[in-house]
Amino acid sequence: MWPLSPSHTGLQRMDYQLDTLEHDNLGSTVYQLLCNDLLQGRLQPGARLKIRELAEQLGTSVTPVRDAILRLVQEQALAMQSPRDIRVPHMTVERYLEIRAIRIRLEGLAAETAANKAEPAAIARLEDIVQRNAVAMAAQDIALGCALNQQFHFALVDIAGLPFLHGILYRIWLQMGPLIAAVYQQGGSAMLDYHYPVLQAMRQRDGAAAALAIGDDILSGGQAILLHLQARQRAG
Amino acid sequence: MWPLSPSHTGLQRMDYQLDTLEHDNLGSTVYQLLCNDLLQGRLQPGARLKIRELAEQLGTSVTPVRDAILRLVQEQALAMQSPRDIRVPHMTVERYLEIRAIRIRLEGLAAETAANKAEPAAIARLEDIVQRNAVAMAAQDIALGCALNQQFHFALVDIAGLPFLHGILYRIWLQMGPLIAAVYQQGGSAMLDYHYPVLQAMRQRDGAAAALAIGDDILSGGQAILLHLQARQRAG
DNA sequence: GCAGCAAATATGATGCATCATAATTTGATG
DNA sequence: CATCAAATTATGATGCATCATATTTGCTGC
């Protein structure tokens, strides 16, 4: 890891602007780092995080790290198993099924809204993501495939113009990140196939079809995840 | 206000147990207090919060208050308009419409699931809330009416057995709290009427009807809120 | 050698000193 | 009296000392 800021207490000014004028203090920066670690599978389920250790690695004091970890604990992307034991939580089958039902409703809303207002540029953007995903799959680049899969889903939300929904879904994905990475790093990944019907519905500006297609993606594409969870739960 | 704990650094042990073994540090306690202030309209849109001031009122140091406020800023129940200016944000029409669409999907899921598994005890619980709400309305107790309205909606989620959804909806309601309180304190409140069809669908274990009914509640019952927002937006 | 207790260590929680900077006040100047 | 700049104040951000306690280690006595 690298120190966040060479100067004593200077803030790291980021080049991109967040939706809601997020004032980038150190805590938010650490939060973003940890989010990426979660989404890209660098933090695996069961992994323990220590505030002091992270602070040292990042070259900050404990305060910003504590801020970031508390945020992630709040939204249950991390869990405090005991008062001094902060870990990446394991997903349960029940929780996954609940999240799946929620995602079908919310991402269905996003897909429907996006399809109803799909402009050519938006379609092109989705096609680009899908095509790059196909390349990644052909090259067996699983990490890139996962990232592009995620990009596809969030592109729908952005095209729909629903920033509030984006936040909700981001927090949901934050909890699935370690799981998805764990599943796909050890096995098959057929997540791309189900994106083509979505694309087709978008081209036809058929909101209902798009919602159905994204629901099928979540159900069928996530089948491997469900099987993995059920196997793990049986094993103990 | 009152000091959170008489002893020096003693934690306030709460009698109820939160869902996910939330370890009640001072920050979480302050967070709960601020949430209640938001949901019950004691913090109105535009109100400014100062960390030191709150810390003094609560009898703690700034750290737990900062933790709590940062949590609320993260989930956009508070907004940092400038780096030193933390306020209860004003709702916009666009944001409200987006939230409304999301609520219809999510609370529809809750109502549907709840109706499909509605046991007599669950029905009785809902009837009790509605009946107490009717009493409150007759007595023109608007604050109690709002609280019971909220209880009704969250009771559906609890009956459905969807704890994860509960968290998502709680954060959404946190953002609507100041708005709802502001609207209903200055005008009509016809929010109870639309609960009876929900109750009827629950009794018949008709999930689809329950989802439609709660959607109608959100749309029609929230009409006053939308009109209020549109009027305020025109005014400037 | 092992049970059990004590010391040391680890770690999150809390309080607080200090910093940087934005807002406000004040006072000199014209 | 108006204006503008310097000083003061206010306030969130950061770093860090200290606390409480859970965990680990290690020593003692049997």
Mark the ranges of chain A whose per-residue pLDDT is less than 70.
1-23, 187-189, 236
Indicate yes or no: strand C within 7 A of the C-beta of B82: yes
Where in the sequence is the domain holding B147, given as residue range(s)? 93-235
Same domain, B74 and B104: no
- pLDDT number for residue A17: 31
Same domain, B148 and B223: yes
- pLDDT number for residue A15: 30
Beta bridge partners of B80: B86
Which segment of A65-69, A74-78, B93-97, B142-146 scores lowest on mean pLDDT?
B142-146
Same domain, A77 and A109: no
Burial of A55 from C-beta contacts in 10 A (0-12 / 13-18 / 19+): middle
Same domain, B150 and B226: yes
- Count, in order, helices (H) and strands (E) of chain A: 10, 3
- pLDDT number for residue A23: 65
* Domain count along chain B: 2
The CA–C1' separation of A142 and D7, in angstroms, is: 60
Beta bridge partners of B86: B49, B80
User: What is the domain-level CATH number for residue B117?
Assistant: 1.20.120.530
Same domain, A26 and A61: yes
Q: Which stretches within chain B are classed as H helix?
A: 26-39, 51-58, 62-74, 93-116, 120-138, 142-160, 163-185, 195-203, 207-221, 223-235
In the structure, what pLDDT confidence band is assigned to residue B173 with cuts at 50, 70 and 90? very high
| CA distance linking residue B66 with residue B229, whole number of Å | 30
* Averaged pLDDT, B171-177: 96
B143 vs B113, residue with greater confidence: B113
Which two three-digit tokens encode residue B57?
């009122």
Same domain, B44 and B140: no
CB atoms within 10 A of CB B198: 27
Same domain, B126 and B184: yes
* Last residue within a domain, chosen from A35, A70, A89: A89
Q: Is A163 close to B74, i.e. CB distance below 8 A?
A: no
Cβ-Cβ contacts under 8 Å, A109 against chain B: 101-102, 105
B165–chain A Cβ distance below 8 A for any pair: yes
Same domain, B157 and B46: no
* Last residue within a domain, chosen from B35, B55, B89: B89
Q: Is B21 close to A162, i.e. CB distance below 8 A?
A: no
* Last residue within a domain, chosen from B38, B59, B89: B89
Same domain, A68 and A135: no
